[in-house]
Structure 1
């Protein structure tokens, strides 16, 4: 399992190459922006047709991370479903898969802007969760310290050999950690976007996901 060690407000964490966050001292795995059911939601709203396999692919990667970490607590940081109807429309096989992953674990669904209400699956549904010394929520708040959030799907674009490559990335400064989107069908917001540049402090770093996580100063314009 590939990871990068980080510390936030005294908590020792590991950012995994998959885009998940592992907190060993709490036996806790955190993922953000799964967007289950995105292909169904897009088809329902007249958007482009996408192969309806993103939920299975995301669950496969999540199951692998749970096997590696043996986490006893899972926090899904909001936008776990592309909308509430997408949650209700999940095929039975995928609902049962989620139930199997939940078995024997504390499972927390944090409220997101895509899924603001309770869902008909196991686990608890919360607006945010305080686990001192950290707070888990969907959207970062500029005035808050020691928070872990998602929402923005951050990614980093780097020039290499005459072309650019983009990879989802964690963004970390002294006060917050923003997770990349974990879901298969998710885009991203570049780290130099004004919203992220305004949220993250001048000391911010980016941790690129992939087979070998790489930590660099957060790219800015």
Structure 2
């Protein structure tokens, strides 16, 4: 079982493939020794995409809300490096649909820090006009950070893409939350975007990715809750 340590900030500190990392209540990963903040699956402009493609009029504030949450993490931690772990934009045209003030907020993220965009399946080319480095993957503290988890066991891999969520039942009630999921060897981050859903960690999409018992670190209102495999329930 993965060992963890509760933090005063409400997060959980774990050892991941030999590196000490912090699972934040926002759904971000904090690599303190490298002053690096990692977030996955922001899906900027998902609301405007659904309006254009399907006529579904979702409130067009998802990008703004996601940036607000990101700004709070930056204010709390003052990272020297910010890594977007793929699917930062919901589609290839999303960057062009950004409101002017949201685009400026994204440009401001690169002032005084390194900004890294790992590409994902929704944004295979990365941003065109925004600052920062576009990469397939990044290597930090012996960890390989990429968007989509590779098949089989991948020690030291940090990925997103699957939008993990944990469901826990107690009596007649149940709770379902976005979560990190890890076996201490690899880690999958929850989606950070405001309009992103979650896939139950017991779904077969997670099968074969972990070599031992998993810890689901569920995002609560005040802290991250460690959930062992016996407490997890299917949808």
TM-score range, shorter chain: over 0.9
The normalised TM-score by structure 2 is: 0.90
Report the CA distance between 1:92 and its aligned residue.
Answer: 0.8
Aligned CA-pair RMSD: 1.3
Using structure 1 for the length normalisation, give the TM-score: 0.96
Matching residue within 188, 191, 199 for 2:198: 188
Does the CA contact (< 8 Å) of 2:168 and 2:233 recur in 1?
no
Pairwise CA distance, 1:132: 3.6
The answer to whether the Cα contact below 8 Å between 1:174 and 1:201 also exists between their aligned partners in 2 is no
Matching residue within 16, 23, 32 for 1:15 = 23
**In 2, are the aligned partners of 1:150 and 1:181 still within 8 Å (CA)?**
yes
SS class of match (1:82): coil
Matched, 1:157 2:167: yes
Q: Which secondary structure state, in structure 2, belongs to the residue aligned with residue 41 of structure 1?
A: helix
Conserved? CA contact 2:49–2:91, under 8 Å: yes
CA contact (8 A) 1:197 1:220 kept: no
Q: Is the 8 A contact 1:32 1:182 kept in 2?
A: yes
Query: Are 2:144 and 1:135 aligned?
Result: yes
Distance 1:161 1:121 in 2: 49
Greater shift in the superposed pair: 141-150 or 34-43: 141-150
Matched, 1:53 2:64: no
| 2:118 aligned partner | 110
2:176 matches 1:166: yes
Map 1:16-95 → 2, pairs under 5 A: 16-95=24-103
Instruction: Report if the CA contact (8 A) 1:158-1:166 is conserved.
Output: yes
Question: Using a 3 Å threshold, how does the CA distance of structure 1 residues 157 and 220 change in structure 2: closer, same or farther?
Answer: closer
